[in-house]
Amino acid sequence: MGHRALVAYEQADGTFDLHYSQWGALGFRLAYTLAETDPFGPDETVEPTPRATGLSFDVILTDYLDFLLHEAFYVVSPGFDVTAYVPVWFGLETDDEVVGNGALVPVIWRNGTPVDVEYLEGWVDGAKTSLRAHHEQCALTPAAIQEFFAETLPEWFGNDVILASEVR
Amino acid sequence: MTATDEEQAGPPATLSQPTPAAATDFLETALARDSLITLFGRCTVEYDGRAASYLGPGDRHVMLKPDGSLLVHTGEGQKPVNWQPPGCTHEPRLCEGSLQIRSVRSNPAEELLVTFESVVQVAAFDPTDESTLAVEGTEADLKRRILDDPSLVEPGFQPLATERETPAGAVDIFGRDAAGRIVVVELKRRRVGPDAVGQLGRYVEALRRELHADATVRGILVAPSVTDRARDLLAENGLEFVALDPTA
């Protein structure tokens, strides 16, 4: 599927320019390949033409970030500090909302290598398998599932987890 | 080294048993030229970042790459004992009579300090390497396998484009089957669950809307394996599955 990523470049006025990268999620490499001198990475890993400009962070989460499609999300500060996030989709069914229905879990780094991302993905897959079983018994509504993730993700992965459902 | 090599690499290229001051000067020049630098000598390594660490004195091989990465190797193992990723800044200096290399990364804040008691040899190279490695070990491998042999998807499958844009995102492989129908192929390198089925379904839908109304669009998920739930969902949504590993 490529390794699709969205990159939000914060502008001086506090709004964001949103760019797309087909391979940028691979190994969360954009976290260390983007620099002021090379804002879109080697070989323009990030598409230089923005998909949208002048966005607020909340609007990116509720209208642009596709939690099913994008494997990584990056925020680039005006000083070119890059923060990488793993998008976690809250949906269980193929017709569930894919935008605005998830959370961003910050990537933890050790010696320049992202750690625990596979653990997080496994945690989510395991949780979803269990929730889906309950859901199929009609014991859980989509809202209850959203609530479950919104409560337990920060509990497991820290208070820096950003919830899209919260800004809705 | 032949005269021609020396010309290309630019002197000085190697110093044996340099004094700390000479090694520092050499490093400054080589770093300014964006050279690939190797040093061998007795050193200590201090790392300060997410977790602090200290490596006592020992004989090590240190490599500084033009992309800003730094590797510290001992005489054992294929992995460096300490390293910094690309994008770091390297700064050689003379500190209390010893050569020190400071490697700094700002985000996340990490610092690696290599202090040489003695340097046996330092060398600088100016690598040119036009062949860039394609994105490795991932969906890209799977894609290459299929493009090399499209019949792995099914007999008669003809890839037409990769990463073709649709309103739902770029699809991995876009092609036609033996009967001329549009085929969307979604690649995954690992066992997949329902999320991957959802993604494929959205590409198929997006293409059906984009192409003329009577176009038949098939969706095929290619992955090593699928969960039972994903298999059910594929069937419910009229999508197909082909089992294939990224490596042959």
Could you report the per-residue pLDDT of B45-68, keeping only the tens digit for each?
Answer: 998 877 778 889 999 999 999 888
Higher pLDDT, A9 or A154: A9
Q: How confident is the model at residue A6 (pLDDT cuts 50, 70, 90)?
A: very high
pLDDT value at residue B132:
52
pLDDT value at residue A137:
80
Under 8 Å CB-to-CB from B142, ≥6 apart: which residues?
B187, B188, B189, B222, B244, B245, B246
Nearest to A94 among B105, B186, B194 (CB): B194
Smallest CA–CA distance from B107 into chain A, residue:
A81
Integer-rounded Cα Rg, in Å, for chain A is 16
d(C-alpha B211, C-alpha B73), whole Å: 56
A–B interface: beta-carbon pairs under 8 A = 86
CB B68 within 8 A of CB B89: yes
Q: Is the pLDDT of residue B248 over 60?
A: yes
| DSSP run (H or E) holding B219 | strand B217-223
Q: Which residues of A touch B105 (CB under 8 A)?
A: 32, 112
- Residue-wise DSSP of B38-78: EEEEEEEEEEESSS-EEEEEEEEEEEE-TTS-EEEE-SS-S
pLDDT value at residue A94:
80
d(C-alpha A70, C-alpha A95), whole Å: 17
pLDDT value at residue B168:
80
Contact flag A32-B50 (C-beta cutoff 8 Å): no
Q: Is the pLDDT of residue B161 over 80?
A: yes
Residue-wise pLDDT for B94-141, tens only, equals: 999 999 999 998 777 889 999 999 999 999 998 776 655 445 557 778
- Mean pLDDT, residues A3-32: 93
Contact flag B170-A112 (C-beta cutoff 8 Å): no
- Mean pLDDT, residues B27-31: 92
β-bridge partners, B184:
B174, B219
Under 8 Å CB-to-CB from A147, ≥6 apart: which residues?
none
Contact flag A109-B84 (C-beta cutoff 8 Å): no
Smallest CA–CA distance from A24 into chain B, residue:
B135
Smallest CA–CA distance from B50 into chain A, residue:
A110
As to burial, measured by CB atoms within 10 angstroms (0-12 exposed, 13-18 middle, 19+ buried), residue B148 is exposed
Contact flag B199-A3 (C-beta cutoff 8 Å): no
Contact flag B47-A125 (C-beta cutoff 8 Å): no
Q: Is the pLDDT of residue B4 over 60?
A: no
Q: Is the pLDDT of residue A7 over 80?
A: yes
Look up residue A47 and give its amino acid. E
Three-state SS at A77? coil
Q: Which two tokens stand for residue B69?
A: 């990465």
Higher pLDDT, B98 or B212: B98
Q: Round the average pLDDT of chain A to a whole number and report it.
A: 89
Q: Which residues of B touch A66 (CB under 8 A)?
A: 169
Q: Is the pLDDT of residue A24 over 80?
A: yes
pLDDT value at residue B1:
41
Q: Which residues of A touch B187 (CB under 8 A)?
A: 1
Smallest CA–CA distance from B185 into chain A, residue:
A1
Residue-wise pLDDT for A58-78, tens only, equals: 999 999 999 988 999 999 999
Interface residues of B toward A, Cβ cutoff 8 Å, are 47, 49-51, 82-87, 105-108, 110, 132, 135, 138-139, 163, 168-170, 172, 186-188, 193-199, 201-202, 227, 229, 233, 237
